[in-house]
Structure 1
Amino acid sequence: MALETSAHSPAPVRQIANLISQWVDKLGAVWVEGQIAQISRRPGLQTVFMTLRDAVADISVPLTVPRDRVDSLATPLVEGASVVVHAKPSYYANRGSFSLAVREIRMVGLGELLARLERRRQLLAAEGLFAGELKRSLPFLPHRVGLVTAPGSAAERDVLENARRRWPNVAFEVAYATMQGPRAAAEVMEALGRLERDPDVDVIVVARGGGSVEDLLPFSDEALVRAVHRLRTPVVSAIGHEQDQPLLDLVADVRASTPTDAAKLVVPDVAEELRRVDTARQRIRQVLGGWLAREQAGLDALRSRPVLGDPRGLLAERAGEIEALRERARRTVTHRLDRATDDIAHHRARARALSPLATLQRGYAVLQDAGGRVVTSVAGVRPDAPISVRVADGRVHAVTTGTTRTELLEESDG
């Protein structure tokens, strides 16, 4: 019904909004196909807000979907999935916003495919196949590089040429396999097993030059992912381009964005390594030169000291000290010997003074009878008795002819 309005009799906003809402409510439910561009789950709300984008034109429309319908999908709903929704147009007058109230949602085409891959990724991640602690580091310079690719492919050419340009002596062991189609996963697993059994292969590169999501499906095959997980040799995944990410990229030890990038990862650049060696040599030379300069300066400082400038001077000084000590010891010993000699002479003089021999040398004699007893009185001597007279230089043997008694004079004090 037309609304009569004019500049002098305008309609209020609420009236216009309500009329639009009433008109939209008269529209029936429709089936709409598009691509999910945004998913918003707000805590506490039983409604999930999404944006449905047209696959060709730059046009999008908001969706409101009951949470239970989203959770009941067989495969998780992800951004970028293609879907078909059965929805009724709705206009919210209070905010003047238009949306589609979804009653049913179905995954179709590529969207369904991406949803299955996402579900598979979540299951394998839950088993720990993509854990970071399982990733092995690549060898610095592999003895031989294994390459799994299609025969005569651009990926093979990129890997071989770029690797040999970086390190001319690098050796490759190429195992060809179909890189697209239903047989690709089985042939890639067979090629990986063949390279794994080669003891000379230190790293394996799986290379393919990109493609659509459908083309890269073999590299998200669960059996292939588990086979790569069981390998002992490090694996580099070079499947697709930077925006592509098959499950092989997640289970591989290293992901390369392109085959050219894989060649840069598996072998070092000989020119860069030579520059590093030259830089290391210069640093070592500088460090060693500095150390030698410091040690030479220390030696020069030691040699500049007087004691090391003329070592004989120190010896001469010590020799003078030793000579002085020797002279002092000589004087001390001589002094002590002189004192000892004087003591001996003194004791000898005293001993001689006390000796009977000294008395005999002054003219005295010792008279002994035949029995050797000293005669001290004439009373014990008989006439004609043999006697012995001891003088200073010998004995005189005689016979008494007689005796004469002499009165002893006693000394008196004073």
Structure 2
Amino acid sequence: MTELAVLARLSADSKHPVEQLVRHPRLPLVAGTAAKSRLVRVWDCGGGRLHEFAPVDLGPAREPDPAEWWRSETAPPVAWHPERPLLVVADGSTLTRWTPDGPSVPEQVSAAYLHLAFSPDGRTLWAKPSGDSSDALDLATGSAVPAPYWDTGVAVHPSGELVATLVSDQSATFCLFARPGAEPPAAMRQLRHALVLAADGYGTPLFSADGRHLAIRGNAYVDSLDVFAFPSLRRVLTRTLAEDDAQRWPDENLAWGVRPGVLWIGTPTGSLLELDVETRETVEHPSPAGTPISALTATATGDLLVAHADGELALLAERPATPAPEAVDDVTVFLAGTEEVPPAGQLEDHLVYTDGSGIWESEDPDAAEAAGRPLP
């Protein structure tokens, strides 16, 4: 069992407690957002302390299009540059760049974006508006090109050679994998091998620090957790976190620990669950205050940052300290077993599906049993 040590605490906004913590991939920086709040907060978590920078204040809410009333209910989309201390925030048809010196003047863009993600090389911003489209933007020049459709955020494999994102509808969700493009503005190059999930409303996929596992939180109908091994995509674990709506779990409540195969889960009671995804052993770390957890992430230095429903943030260290695992080059194995989706035709016509136990080349799930192709 891991011991958790409190490094720092900080009081935040109790009226709009943080519901999403977005970590910088390499620097000890974390951004925090909340639904119905126009404030994007940023913290430095380095050196075992919590220091808050000047936030991005988007000002009074704009009057939304009646057909898109839900925009006022969602948090502003944000994305960290993979190398620099640069955060991009979307607000309607503008983008604001934040650095430690403060936010920039908003820049006009051609669409209102719901999701943002940087390409692994940091030269392209992938941006998803409403509808079945997406854009690839070169932030240096402002140029943009149409890109393959995706939604619900982008997970970058630790190698930087592969990304995972979702394409959803009410009947099913595909977890799609793609290679980053070469020249900005470069769109994702989607691959044929895809995970198929049961419903919609899943959260952004989450690669472990060593790249050996992929966790997916969802969905719109139940508080669930699915973990897959990578590169095989074998389903390692599936778990229902709550059986009914009596106790809603936070949506952004997963973080991979520094020990390989350990996933931390924030709970509505305030405790943290330490889950070994291979052995399925779970250890509960109670919260002295018992305040529900509203968001959770692991910082670039391996500490856990926990947001609570009363507005407090806590920075926790895992002890005894464990060296961060090195990423395993299993992307080469994955890429050798698939190919890029042809640019023409329907996406579904070209995908090779897996549900974590079998593989088939048809959207009809009954074909999986008929194909008789188990995962390796």
Q: TM-score range by the shorter chain?
A: under 0.3
Provide the TM-score with structure 2 as the length reference.
0.20
**Who wins on radius of gyration, i.e. which is larger?**
1
Relative contact order higher in (CA < 8 Å, ≥ 6 apart)? 2
Higher helix share: 1
More strand by share: 2
